[in-house]
Amino acid sequence: MGVTSTLLPLTRPLGSLQVLSMYNSMDMINTSAVLSSIALVFIAAVITKVAWGRITARPASRNTTPHPPAISGSSIIPLLHTLLTKGLRAMLQEQYTKFGSVFTISFFGMKTTFLVGPEVSAHFYQGPESEISHGNILEFTVPMFGKDVAYGVDIVIRTEQNRFYVDALKPAKLRCHVAPMLQEVEKYFAKWGQQGLVDLKQELEQLFMLISARCLLGKEVREKMFDEVCSAFHELTENSLQLTSLLFPYAPTPMTRRRDRARARLSSIFAEIVRSRKSSNRVEEDVLQNLMDSKYRDGRSTTEAEVTGLIMAILFAGKHTSTTTSTWTGARLLSHTECLEAALEEQQQIIKKHGDNIDYDTLLEMSFLHCCIKEVMRMHPPASIFLRKVHKNFTVQTREGYEYEVPRGHTIASPLVINHNIPHIYKDPDVYNPHRFSHGREEDRVGGKFTYNAFSGGRHACPGEAYAYMQVKVIWSHLLRNFELKLVSSFPETDWLKVAPEPRGKVEVSYKRRMLPRSMLKN
């Protein structure tokens, strides 16, 4: 969902390169200009903030264990050249090949240590907050969602608030969302003609917002205030994710003022809904209601400010990542005939068994479609890199047999663009092959813990994983059953300047409506 899907700001670390990917309004002329901004603006500005924010001078460690090999000084020049000409993955792959599983990039004295592979990732995902944390990387989310939630509160309260999400998105409560999701999907695609051409990315973005309004925000928003909420939410995100707003979230700029007005409007809308439900004793089956009913361990109920902040955060987290994952799923399936046919065959078998009806248990039976989505997130993870800040020295043992000490003060990075493409774990990693996750093969499990981290892991595992898969399955099971689809445009390149790296430009798909879903059985 991310809620994946994706829960980007709350349950997954927002990697610095992903922070850069949010700059979707930068007016870049070409790819070189974009990558120049990545190399110059991002590395100089964002890492500076991460490295020096809230840090004081510390004595050097007396441990004799060596630090990781470092790239610094003039060695940075060819590294940046590779970034500019070949891209992020190629740059990191070169360093991984040269130095092994652990290496440090030092830029103007600011050090980022990359941890490649599951053997060196355990502390990154499981280390306690006192030893490893997000630092101040996500400070820009405080004026977005308010000082009462997420990174506006301490770790104790933030952990409890994360528990509210876990409870709201657990399987027992997800079942009630399938029917409204299906209704939104069926209603939306009923507007398509008998045949036509669409931009799949745009269509899915609109559909996911409708689903979010229904299942996350509630009937009040979906039925009466949808356009107003969408407009205010767009204003909030657009102005929060500009470069200056990210680096200087409290500066009195036109963008931060527009952000604050949008947040105030959304807060007012959700607060009014909360008050209305409480005064009328009305109870709904949506995530907003779950957050309203949540209680802290000391028995205190959530406040209006907390509920509104939490619901805005989950909407922000889920919308981008779910849309992107669903779009990539379509692009990959429609580019691989064998996989598309296997997905259709699975739907045929499910229709034979259950008829046209879909419920939560039916979605769980869509194992190949599940693998198709999982493979998409291996190849196109919602975040390219996760970051943490080191507060206490720790050591790692590499697959190559070396031991290194990572010092406090370093920023450490888990690069999914490399970790999800390690050949000794994933056979032919550049090939889209959902079967690698099928029962009996399961390359991610064979590779060990923290081999697959599309939903992060350990202490920061995303509680929206099941919800994310459910959304995408509902949409694509409907599309597969009801339409013949073909990818008309070429397979898209990745646009790294988005919140979740997404297909660049339009994803044009032609469709032709099937007479009835059951007609598939006669094919």
Binding residues: 462
Residues 229 and 266: beta-carbon distance below 8 Å: yes
Q: Residues in the chain, how many? A: 523
Using alpha carbons, select from 387, 435, 393, 392 the residue that is nearest to residue 411: 387
> Hey, what are 289's tokens?
């209601």
Residues 325 and 373: beta-carbon distance below 8 Å: yes
Cα-Cα-Cα-Cα torsion 150, 154, 155, 161, nearest 10 degrees, comes to: -40
The dihedral built from the CA positions of residue 389, 394, 397 and 402, taken in this order, carries a sign that is positive
Residues in binding site for heme: 462
**CA–CA separation, 77 and 72 (whole Å):** 9
Residues 471 and 184: beta-carbon distance below 8 Å: no
| C-alpha separations of 180 from 320, 387, 516 in Å | 20, 36, 21
58: helix, strand or coil? coil
172 φ/ψ angles, rounded to the nearest 5 degrees? -60, -30
**CA–CA separation, 210 and 311 (whole Å):** 15
Residues 168 and 11: beta-carbon distance below 8 Å: no
The dihedral built from the CA positions of residue 483, 484, 489 and 491, taken in this order, carries a sign that is positive
Residues 397 and 65: beta-carbon distance below 8 Å: no
The identity of residue 323, as a single letter, is T
The dihedral built from the CA positions of residue 205, 211, 217 and 219, taken in this order, carries a sign that is positive
152 φ/ψ angles, rounded to the nearest 5 degrees? -95, -5
Checking 449-452 for CB contacts under 8 A at 24+ apart, the result is 449/118, 449/122, 450/118, 450/121, 450/122, 450/124, 450/125, 451/118, 451/419, 451/425, 452/374, 452/378, 452/420
201 φ/ψ angles, rounded to the nearest 5 degrees? -60, -45
Strand pairing class (70-71; 102-107) = parallel
190 φ/ψ angles, rounded to the nearest 5 degrees? -65, -20
